Amino acid sequence: MSKTLKTTLAVLASLALIPAAATAHTVKSPHPGTVTATTYYSSGAFHGAVDISSGRCNYWGVETGVVGSVSWNVTIRTTGVYCYGSGSGNTNEAKHVWADGATFRLWHFIRTADSYDRTCDRCQVGNEGLASSSTGPHTHLQQDRLGTNDTSWYSGYTTKGEVVDRTETIGVLD
């Protein structure tokens, strides 16, 4: 076999080992507010997600944030208006599971007529609220990959204390 043919075959074989690029999805802020937590809480404890607060309980129009039509599974665990320390376990959730098994979640919204399963591009799922032991209303955005909180999707895109609006890129999901 000629050297040129061997080189060509080696190059083609190496290309087969490169995985196809996944479609990236931009995550925009679900509502205007301030980033109140990212990888770590103020206490230094690991958080591994982005929290955004408008500072107003029941703030209208929490959107999923992910740009690009994806299927959202909306789970409603509580129907009350909770904004200040209502106890863990009552978190309403909108989530999408990617083909590789990673899961993107949005938590702490108040149920409205917009809280139902569907495929959409940045759809509204409820109003800003809280259903845990936090200090105030906020929206929590989290990517889980292989059983852990993946922080790479927002790293370099947003920081604690940053003021954001709906057009602001919070991160990119691969």
Whether 11 maps to a domain, the answer reads no
- Rounded distance, CA 149 to CA 19, Å? 23
Range of the domain at 102: 22-173
Give yes or no for a contact between 145 and 160, defined as CB atoms under 8 angstroms apart: no
Q: Any idea which of 54-58, 140-144, 163-167 has the lowest mean pLDDT?
A: 54-58
- Rounded distance, CA 128 to CA 61, Å? 7
Q: Report the number of distinct structural domains present in the chain.
A: 1
Residue 142 has pLDDT above 90, yes or no: yes
Q: Which of 78 and 48 is assigned the larger pLDDT?
A: 48
Within 10 A of 67 (CB to CB), how many other CB atoms are there? 16
Query: Average pLDDT, stretch 92-105?
Result: 92
Whether 16 maps to a domain, the answer reads no
Whether 17 maps to a domain, the answer reads no
| Residue 78: predicted pLDDT | 80
Quote the pTM value.
0.82
Whether 162 maps to a domain, the answer reads yes
The bridge status of strand 109-110 relative to strand 118-120 is: unpaired
Whether 6 maps to a domain, the answer reads no
At which residue do the structure tokens 């702490």 appear?
108
- CA 39 to the chain's CA centroid: 13
Tell me the HSE value of 20 on the side-chain side, using a 13 A CA sphere: 3
Mean model confidence pLDDT for the chain: 83
Whether 13 maps to a domain, the answer reads no
* Confidence tier at 86 by pLDDT (50, 70, 90): low
Query: Average pLDDT, stretch 96-102?
Result: 92
| Residue 122: predicted pLDDT | 86
Whether 7 maps to a domain, the answer reads no
- CA 69 to the chain's CA centroid: 14
- Rounded distance, CA 150 to CA 79, Å? 29
Whether 14 maps to a domain, the answer reads no
Question: Kindly report the CA angle at 46 between 93 and 163, in degrees rounded to 5?
Answer: 70
Give yes or no for a contact between 149 and 48, defined as CB atoms under 8 angstroms apart: yes
Model confidence pLDDT, tens digit, residues 145-173: 998 999 999 999 999 999 999 999 999 99
CATH number at residue 121: 2.70.70.10
- Rounded distance, CA 67 to CA 115, Å? 18
